[in-house]
Amino acid sequence: MRTFFKVVALVVVCNFASADFVKSQDLTKKFGEDSIACRSNISLYQEFYKQKNYAAAYAPWKAVVEDCPMSTKFIFAEGPVIIDGLLSEETDVAVREKYLNELFDLFELRIKCYPADEGYTLGRMGVYTAKYRKEEYKQAYDYLDKSIDLSGKTSSPQVLDIYFKLAEVYMINEDISTDFIMEAYDKVSGVMDLIIDDAELRLEEIMHKIYKLNEDLEQQVVDNEKYLADYEKLRKDSAQIANEFTQLKNVQNNMDFLFSKHAKCEMLVQIYGKKLETNKEERILRQIIKFFNKVKCADNDVYYSAVEELHKIRPEANTAYYMGKIYADKKQYTDALEYYKEAAETYIKESQRIDAYLMMTDCYIKLKQYSAAREIANKILRLNPNKGIAYILIGDAYMASASSCGDVDVPGALCWAAADKYAKAKSVDASITEEADKRLNTARACFPKIEDYWQRGYEKGQSYKIGCWINETTTIR
């Protein structure tokens, strides 16, 4: 230990193992020898803490830590905030070092008193080491490395982010190969994927409750008062998770950007091409697929071989999806469809199923199987009514089939129907407005001229039923 806590006191309080100290004080008591003083100091420091008066909170907080550390776990959560606040105001080097020693002694004490918190606490030790003792990057890295091992998907995004940044510092300062940062990326991205998947599944669950609530209102299953109350709660819950999800994606994007600085496509092909010749273990195959996808390096034999081999030995939704992309890139759309179907049927996350359906829709359009394309696009809309890209794809199918629908008596009428879908797309999904507007302009350019439909007895604004495989009613304009 450094200067803040005596070793004998630490061991006795948490493990009740020092006979000499026990003789002088009954430390089995939660509130120490003087429970009144302990409770008073807790109340005093927490009052100052609420006011963010960390200088005033420090002395009574320290007394609680020294005299009755088992009285409240808040001392371990609030202590770092107090010391952090003091450090932000302190300029004296010796005093700052004293505070830092106390901070790390507090972390060590927490691990001894609450062993189940070790993963979380090591994470905080790593974060604070990286913040205040930058020269000790190896120690910070080791703290975070062990923290992630212990915490898994309960690791905080901050821990994962700093760990990966330190991996770069470590690699550069120690002049070691890029294998080091790639291994670190493999570790943190795997954990981050689990965290993001969990957040996304929770968000999907809430969104489906919102869709169901809207349906119930339309069908008058719920009254307006209950609808508003339920909707407001779901809205707040979804906003909270959506914000969490956005923060996670931002951290992931930062990691991907940093990774791409060091892992270039040519380098990956060279490194893993050699590895693949002698080592086709599942771990290597997964690294190839993950790394190559991150740097958009999926058009080469090394990547193709890894995907095919992994799908052979461990078939799953992702490998089926990647197999589909390989065949789609080769314009073998019928084969691609089979793999995309397999992926869509296997994926658990709604967003992944939608991705597979989108690829299937595109394949059907390229195969000129327009009715099948619309059927799959409608599956997307049943999962998420606000997925505007599905409407765009239906519109694309209408446009593509214009020349094959010879039984439509007004040439170009399919462009009206396509325009309906493009307009619908941007009305439900503002994020694709620009793309939808481009498609709308293309559709408008092929609208029938007035004389084309006037001569057939139709007028502007009139409803018009399109037959062929479309079988929908649109509006003449």
- Residue 27 CB partners (closer than 8 Å, separation 6+): 12, 13, 16, 21, 33
What tokens does 255 get?
Answer: 């990691």
Quote the CA–CA distance of 21 and 6 in Å, as a whole number. 11
Long-range contacts for 95-100 (Cβ within 8 Å, ≥24 apart)?
98/3, 100/128, 100/132, 100/133
The residue type of 475 is T
CB atoms within 10 A of CB 51: 10
Quote the CA–CA distance of 370 and 420 in Å, as a whole number. 17
What pLDDT is recorded for position 16? 36
From the list 351, 295, 283, the residue with the least C-alpha distance to 321 is 351
Give helix 157-174 / helix 224-262 axis angle, nearest 10°: 10
Q: Which run of H or E residues covers position 246?
A: helix 224-262
Residue with tokens 């001569």: 455
What tokens does 159 get?
Answer: 């821990």
| Residues 357 and 344: beta-carbon distance below 8 Å | yes
Residue 236, classified by CB atoms within 10 Å of its CB into exposed (0-12), middle (13-18) or buried (19+), is exposed
Quote the CA–CA distance of 32 and 38 in Å, as a whole number. 7
What tokens does 258 get?
Answer: 């940093």
Q: What pairs with residue 179 in β-bridges? A: none
What pLDDT is recorded for position 398? 96
Q: What pairs with residue 474 in β-bridges? A: 464
Quote the CA–CA distance of 62 and 103 in Å, as a whole number. 11
Three-state secondary structure along 339-381? HHHHHHHHCCCHHHHHHHHHHHHHHHHHCCCHHHHHHHHHHHH
The residue type of 301 is D
What are residue 72's phi and psi, to 5 degrees? Answer: -155, 135
Read off the pTM. 0.75
What is the number of H-type helices and E-type strands within the chain? 22, 2
Q: How many CA atoms lie within 13 A of 182 on its CB side?
A: 22
Quote the CA–CA distance of 343 and 327 in Å, as a whole number. 14
What pLDDT is recorded for position 449? 86
CA 205 to chain centre: 16
CB atoms within 10 A of CB 162: 22
Task: Please tell me whether residue 474 adopts helix, strand or coil conformation.
Answer: strand
What pLDDT is recorded for position 181? 92
What tokens does 99 get?
Answer: 């505070």
Q: Please report, in tens digits, the pLDDT of each residue of the chain (477 residues total).
A: 444 433 334 433 454 333 332 233 344 568 888 899 999 999 999 999 999 999 999 999 999 999 899 999 999 999 999 999 999 999 999 999 999 999 999 999 999 889 999 999 999 999 999 999 999 999 999 999 999 999 999 999 999 999 999 999 999 999 999 989 999 999 999 999 899 989 888 988 998 899 889 888 888 888 889 999 999 999 999 899 888 888 888 889 899 999 989 999 999 999 999 989 888 999 999 999 999 999 999 999 999 999 999 999 999 999 999 999 999 999 999 999 999 999 999 999 999 999 999 999 999 999 999 999 999 999 999 999 999 999 999 999 999 998 888 667 888 899 999 999 999 999 999 999 999 999 999 999 999 888 778 877 788 889 999 988 999 999 998
* In 253-319, beta strands by DSSP E: none
What pLDDT is recorded for position 6? 37
Enumerate the domain spans of the chain: 7-113, 264-310
Terminal Cα distance for the chain, rounded: 82
Nearest-5° angle of CA 293, CA 296, CA 297? 85
What tokens does 279 get?
Answer: 């080592």
CB atoms within 10 A of CB 190: 14
